[in-house]
Amino acid sequence: MTHNPPVLLISDACVLIDFCKSGCHDILKIVSGKFLVLQVPRRVLDEVDQLTETQAANLGIEILEVTATQLQEASVRGGPSRQDRLCFVVARDNHGAVWSNDRKLHKLCEAGKVQVFWGLEIVLALVRQGHLTKARAGEAGESIHRVDPHYITPAVLKEFQRKLAEL
């Protein structure tokens, strides 16, 4: 399902790791620039070895401090990881959306009526809105697939390429 992204997007660790490992920092900067507000809870950023706090700030990614109440709610056992649940709670509380490639987190967001986007969905939105060329988007999709074939499977990449070609 493709829909328009919100103004506020809360990223989980897997998306940031994929974009950093694949050399797509430029796309993160576009996402966090004029396109929308990209935020990451500090506890989630701590999971991303490929991105320091300074690098995140230089890319325009806002680092969030969460409340004790949010942290407590996210600490419930079962389902998505605590950090993924934290992304859900923060997005819900701030009327934002979640950006993730994790299926469990997508299910939680859908059940909790929080808008959620797959990693490459935002790339397609960037192309649709004229912030990114089709060529760069295609390169990014292939690079991300190479570094994370677990989440960005050949089938996911093929569907992304099909949607990109239709733009």
pLDDT at 6: 53
For each of the domains in the chain, give its residue range(s) and CATH number, in order of start: 8-122 (3.40.50.1010)
Instruction: Give, as one character, the DSSP assignment of residue 12.
Output: -
Tallying the residues shown for the chain, one arrives at 167
Residues near 165 by beta carbon (within 8 Å), at least 6 away in sequence: none
Helix (H) or strand (E) holding 70: helix 68-74
Name residue 71's beta-bridge partners: none
Token pair for 11: 């990223």
How confident is the prediction along the chain (167 residues), in pLDDT tens digits per residue?
Answer: 344 545 799 999 999 999 999 999 999 999 998 668 999 999 999 999 999 999 999 999 999 999 999 999 999 887 899 999 999 999 999 999 999 999 999 999 999 999 999 999 999 999 999 999 999 999 999 999 999 999 999 999 999 999 999 99
How far, in Å, CA of 92 to CA of 80, rounded? 16
How far, in Å, CA of 26 to CA of 34, rounded? 13
How far, in Å, CA of 95 to CA of 84, rounded? 16
How far, in Å, CA of 29 to CA of 136, rounded? 14
